[in-house]
Amino acid sequence: MGKLPKIISAEEFETLFTHVRKLRVITKTKRKKQVLNQYMIAMLLGFEAGMRISEIVGYKINGNWKIKPLSQEQIEGAAIRIISGKGQKDRIVPRPKRFNEKAVKQLPLFINRRALQHFITKIGKQVLKKHITFHTLRHGFCTHLINMGRPLHEVQMLAGHSRLDTTGIYLHANPKKAIEGAREVFEQ
């Protein structure tokens, strides 16, 4: 079994999200407010849709788009159609309920992936007192679904994992819940 992923809980995500919302309110410049708003959109897509950073802001190699940024055309009602950065496979992910029409109209996001990554790591240390990356949001998405009882094969499909054992690492991310569950089985 590989290394367990770093995760954040739904409560920790809400704490981060609320912190960024407050930053946006107290920020004086219009440009900084726009950047914070786009960071919030990216955070929602990472945690509540399980999207990779490259699927949100795109990825260039030698000036050419290897993965294009998320566009308005990819929003399909309650779902988002994305082209995965891994293997260029289409997949459907849930559209976060807070990802409203106003947020959709801001697509594509024009934010630097490294700046977004740095921002998430910085607020993780400030607010949660722990080291996180943007990918930690995606790990949180998968773990939250598993903890809420979603079947492993559904989480695999939503995460875009080609192998079930890749998704299986999220079963081990909450040892306390696993121990409680095992004890319940034998309490008779």
* Residues labelled as active-site residues: 52, 86, 135, 138, 161, 170
Number of other residues whose CB lies within 10 A of the CB of residue 133: 16
Q: CA 56 to CA 40: how far, in whole Å?
A: 12
Question: Which residue in 31, 10, 37, 8 sits closest to 125, CA to CA?
Answer: 8
